[in-house]
Amino acid sequence: MATEIRGGRSRRLSKHALLIICGVVMLYPLLWMVSSSAKPTETIFRDPSIWPTELDLGNYVDGWTALEYPFHHYLINSAVIAILAVVGNLVSCSLAAYAFARLEFRGRKIFFAMMLATLMLPIHVLIVPQYVLFAQLDWINTNLPLVVPKFLAHDAFFVFLMVQFIRGLPKELDEAARIDGCGHIRIYWRIVMPLSIPALATSAVFTFIWTWNDFFSQLIFLTDPELWTMPVALRSFMDGQGETAWGQLFAMSIVGLAPIFGFFLAGQRYLTQGIATTGFR
Amino acid sequence: MSKRLDTAGATVAPPPPRPVSPTEDPPRRRRFLRPGGPPQDRIGYLFLTPWFIGMAAFTIGPILGSLYLSFTEYTLLKPPEWLGLDNYREMLEDPRLHKSLLVTFLYVFVSVPIQLILALGLALLLNRGVRGLAFYRSVYYLPSLLAGSVSIAILWRQIFGQEGLVNQLLAFFGVEGVSWVAHPDFALGTLVLLNAWTFGAPMVIFLAGLRQIPVSYYEAAQVDGAGTVNRFFHITLPMLTPIIFFNVVLQMIGAFQSFTQAFVISGGRGGPSDATLLYTLYLYERGFGSFDMGYASAMAWILLALIAALTGLNFLFAKRWVFYGN
């Protein structure tokens, strides 16, 4: 842009300096946590630098077995729920989105408005009666309360995201397929879904990260330590060991963050696209 | 309409697959192409069947259920007992509820502006064709993805603890810090900072908005001799008001619902001396700590009313300052 051409070399450099300082300030806590996890607990409190003087992975070894179950038990619990949530959201939200974006049926506008209204609905309004419902179904201390709603398009955010995306796809392809005699199920599966892979990828990445991070509903529905997910286990670790085992806590916290970081590296294009197209998060 | 819903419920099984062969009879094909007509009810409701079930079972049912429960005393052990407005009356006289409202309002009205000013500032810095934009954007966005996790809450509790990172850095300058998370005056501040740390998500939205402003506006202003400051106040800011508005609404709604960070950092109690007792924490305590489901439902409805009222106010005031072009 015009200003960039006018802005001199020194101005550009100072801008980059400012941006880099901001970035370092923002990432310093994270880097410090990573380095602290590789230090003996006593030195965490004395050493604010992020270069560990010696690499000590003892915290990872000790932290892994510090709770009732080994840490991978909780990671697997989290992963099972997160993967099922991804599958459920992709299937159910894309079906609903296809209907809203491509089909003309009575009540479409009202249903669409209802779907948008639920976007803003705080989970706290629903959680108490949902708990009552799940208690009556005997679903407390199972994964069902966390998984079944995902297969029923409960995450309106992703329905909305996919509607926005499908509306942007050229209709000519559907129409050509219709002339060839394709039904809507086939058009959905053979034409719209393959073209929607970017939106599906965005939804998958976000669903995974949010489910992996989710604490509130997992805390409420999973009270049996055997079913605990990674966040619930970490929280109990902190409350149980308290301030005495920071090194181990940090080590396990990093293990818990690692998958998110991996998804961030692999899928950041989809993440920023997702935010830009829907404007959320 | 209910009749329609019934039909949808009855057609859970997929219809027999349509043959794809081009020899299919023409009238059938034409059905899809007929403009305006409503021939797609069946298939539309079929595609929406999961959504209908989810909506009924997990949204509308619970909304009605929580409205009903809010007028009752219910502890899961025996059937709900009708109380009329007693729960709401109790809320008027519940000092912890008032405290939690105060804490929540403070949290929302301090942390959201800080977060959005940072987001806008960085977006402006990044907007003007900066080299490495994608890299900076990712770096600033990363905390937004992580901040909701228990791991980060644990990190925060250590950073702002008695022997935490902040006090270690302060010690360099000879200042002796306190335990920020355990001090009633500062504990909420650490949560505000944590929310400010997530400015990356609204920043990405600002960046997308900035890109929509036509370059020609700036060129015209430059020809007229407008300086950087003038261009910002007379072009960038007015053109960006819809995005600012959008971010304000969204981040406020989100901030009202914050839970994990305050819960983990305060050990689930909202302490010290209720300084971080966000509304949601108190709701959790009443609903799932003491299984006071009726009271918790009444609290949930007040939360919904508050969020709706504030969003409504936002939209009302928007007419005064949001610029939607010509």
Label residue B118 by pLDDT band (50, 70, 90). very high
Q: CB–CB of A250 and B158 under 8 A?
A: yes
Domains annotated on chain B, with CATH: 2-69 (no CATH), 90-321 (1.10.3720.10)
Note the pLDDT tens digit of each residue in A94-107. Answer: 999 999 999 999 99
**Measured in whole angstroms, how far is the alpha carbon of residue A257 from the centre of its chain?**
11
DSSP letter string, B105-174: HHHHHHHHHHHHHHHHHHHHHHHTT-TTHHHHHHHHHHHHHHTTSHHHHHHHHHHTSTTSHHHHHHHHTT
Tell me if chain B has a CB within 8 Å of the CB of A54: no
Residue type, A174: D
Judged against a pLDDT cut of 90, whether residue B296 lies above it is answered with yes
Closest CA to A259 of A232, A279, A281, A231: A231
Cα distance between residue A30 and residue A34, in whole Å: 6
Closest CA to B90 of B316, B297, B305: B297
Note the pLDDT tens digit of each residue in A13-32. Answer: 888 999 999 999 999 999 98
What is the model's pLDDT at position A277?
Answer: 60
- When mean pLDDT is compared across A117-121, A273-277, B24-28, B302-306, the lowest value belongs to B24-28
Assign A271 to helix, strand or coil. Answer: helix
Query: Which of B43, B62, B158 comes nearest A103 by C-beta?
Result: B43
User: Could you tell me what percent of chain A has a pLDDT over 90?
Assistant: 59
B87 or B8, higher pLDDT: B87
Assign A167 to helix, strand or coil. Answer: helix
Cα distance between residue B52 and residue A107, in whole Å: 12
What is the model's pLDDT at position A278?
Answer: 58
Cα distance between residue B132 and residue A13, in whole Å: 13
Q: Which of B117, B118, B155, B243 to mutate to test the interface with A (most CBs of A within 10 A)?
A: B155
Query: Which of B20, B62, B253 comes nearest A120 by C-beta?
Result: B253
Q: CB–CB of B150 and A215 under 8 A?
A: yes
Chain A closest-CA separation from residue B10 CA (Å): 17
ipTM for the predicted complex? 0.89
DSSP-assigned beta bridge partners for residue B73: B81
Residue of chain A whose alpha carbon sits nearest to that of B293: A128
Q: CB–CB of A96 and B151 under 8 A?
A: no
DSSP B77: S
Cα distance between residue B158 and residue B145, in whole Å: 20
For chain A, what is the mean pLDDT?
88
Q: Which two tokens stand for residue B164?
A: 């935490």
What is the model's pLDDT at position B18?
Answer: 43
What is the model's pLDDT at position B102?
Answer: 96
Domains annotated on chain A, with CATH: 2-56 (no CATH), 64-278 (1.10.3720.10)
User: Could you tell me what percent of chain B has a pLDDT over 90?
Assistant: 58
What is the model's pLDDT at position B25?
Answer: 44
**Cis (ω within 30 of 0) for the bond into B272?**
yes
What is the model's pLDDT at position B212?
Answer: 86
Contact A58, A40 (CB under 8 A): yes
What is the model's pLDDT at position B13?
Answer: 37
Query: Which of B49, B59, B149 comes nearest A257 by C-beta?
Result: B149
Judged against a pLDDT cut of 70, whether residue B31 lies above it is answered with no
CA angle A175, A178, A183 (to 5 degrees): 135
Judged against a pLDDT cut of 90, whether residue A280 lies above it is answered with no
Q: Which two tokens stand for residue A102?
A: 């491509």
Chain A closest-CA separation from residue B64 CA (Å): 9
Tell me if chain B has a CB within 8 Å of the CB of A15: yes
What is the model's pLDDT at position A279?
Answer: 52
Q: What value does the mean pLDDT take over residues B119-124?
A: 94
What is the model's pLDDT at position B104?
Answer: 96
Q: What value does the mean pLDDT take over residues B85-109?
A: 96
Judged against a pLDDT cut of 80, whether residue A46 lies above it is answered with no
Could you count the other beta carbons within 10 Å of the beta carbon of residue A273? 18
Judged against a pLDDT cut of 90, whether residue A50 lies above it is answered with no
Range 147-206 of A in CB contact (< 8 A) with B: 149, 151-154, 159, 175, 178-186, 188
Residue of chain A whose alpha carbon sits nearest to that of B201: A281
Judged against a pLDDT cut of 50, whether residue B19 lies above it is answered with no
Q: What value does the mean pLDDT take over residues B254-259?
A: 92
Residue with tokens 């007419």: B319
C-alpha dist (Å) from residue B67 to A114, B75, B85, B94: 18, 16, 11, 20
What is the model's pLDDT at position B5?
Answer: 32
Q: What value does the mean pLDDT take over residues B76-100?
A: 93
Note the pLDDT tens digit of each residue in A196-251. Answer: 998 999 899 999 999 999 999 999 999 999 999 999 999 999 888 766 788 899 99
Judged against a pLDDT cut of 60, whether residue B2 lies above it is answered with no
Contact B255, B111 (CB under 8 A): yes
Cα distance between residue A130 and residue B63, in whole Å: 9
B212 or B192, higher pLDDT: B192
Judged against a pLDDT cut of 90, whether residue A79 lies above it is answered with yes
Chain A closest-CA separation from residue B2 CA (Å): 11
Chain A closest-CA separation from residue B297 CA (Å): 7
Cα distance between residue A214 and residue A205, in whole Å: 14
What is the model's pLDDT at position A98?
Answer: 96
Q: Which of A250-254, B130-134, B319-323 shows the highest mean pLDDT? A: A250-254
What is the model's pLDDT at position A275?
Answer: 63
Judged against a pLDDT cut of 80, whether residue A108 lies above it is answered with yes
Contact A159, A115 (CB under 8 A): yes
Judged against a pLDDT cut of 80, whether residue B125 lies above it is answered with yes
Query: Which of B20, B143, B168 comes nearest A181 by C-beta?
Result: B20
DSSP A192: I
Neighboring chain A residues of B143 at a CB cutoff of 8 Å: 26, 30
Note the pLDDT tens digit of each residue in A125-170. Answer: 899 999 999 999 999 999 999 999 999 999 999 999 999 999 989 8
CA angle A67, A71, A77 (to 5 degrees): 115
Tell me if chain B has a CB within 8 Å of the CB of A250: yes
Chain A closest-CA separation from residue B107 CA (Å): 17
Residue B239 buriedness (CB in 10 A; 0-12 / 13-18 / 19+): middle
Assign A281 to helix, strand or coil. Answer: coil
Q: CB–CB of A153 and B54 under 8 A?
A: yes
DSSP B21: -
B25 or B213, higher pLDDT: B213
